[in-house]
Amino acid sequence: MITKVFMAVIFIIGLILLITSSRIDANLNKSCVDPALLRANKGIIVIGTCLMMIAISYMICLTRCACTNNGRPSEGSFFHVIFATVLGIVLIALGAVIQQKAVGDCEGAKPFAANVWAIGAGLLLACGSYAGYMKFRNNQVQSF
């Protein structure tokens, strides 16, 4: 049950990222041509889509195939958690790029940098909490 809740949270975070990216795009002036800022915004779109696909693929796996090994997660099931963790770290870096490059004509993106940081930190917290819970529940040392 906790895995389904975790994947629902990952899906919602991905959806929030897509909404945040569209809001950044809507608040930018048409004269904003900073390539780093525009690439960071595209990166947010890609990460949001990846998170949504992680959640969907894992949920399909839970309903269609054997993702567990006698009630314990198999070695491949933690791939989704590790990948989402890496994406959270990248999100924090993209938030820093947005904060740094949001000057002049691109000032409209600056308020959203903190949102991207918070979403990245929330994603890291969710992944860490889930991985810690699964380790505690399994009560065994298992390599990620």
pLDDT digits (tens, 9 = 90+) for 69-111: 555 455 556 778 888 899 999 999 999 999 998 888 888 888 8
pLDDT at 124 > cutoff 90? yes
For 89-118, give the DSSP string: HHHHHHHHHHHHH--GGGGGGHHHHHHHHH
Contact residues for 111 (Cβ-Cβ < 8 A; gap 6+): 27
Measured CA to CA in angstroms, residue 104 lies from 34, 36, 143 at distances of 10, 14, 48
Tokens of 43: 């990166």
Q: In this structure, are residues 21 and 41 in contact, taking their beta carbons and an 8 Å threshold? A: yes
pLDDT for the residue 131: 84
For 73-96, give the DSSP string: EPGGGGHHHHHHHHHHHHHHHHHH
Q: In this structure, are residues 10 and 60 in contact, taking their beta carbons and an 8 Å threshold? A: no
Q: What pTM, to 2 d.p., does this model score?
A: 0.82
The C-alpha atoms of residue 23 and residue 17 are separated, in whole angstroms, by: 10
Q: In this structure, are residues 61 and 67 in contact, taking their beta carbons and an 8 Å threshold? A: yes
Average pLDDT across the chain, whole number: 84
The CATH number of 2-137 is 1.20.120
Q: Where are the domains of the chain?
A: 2-137
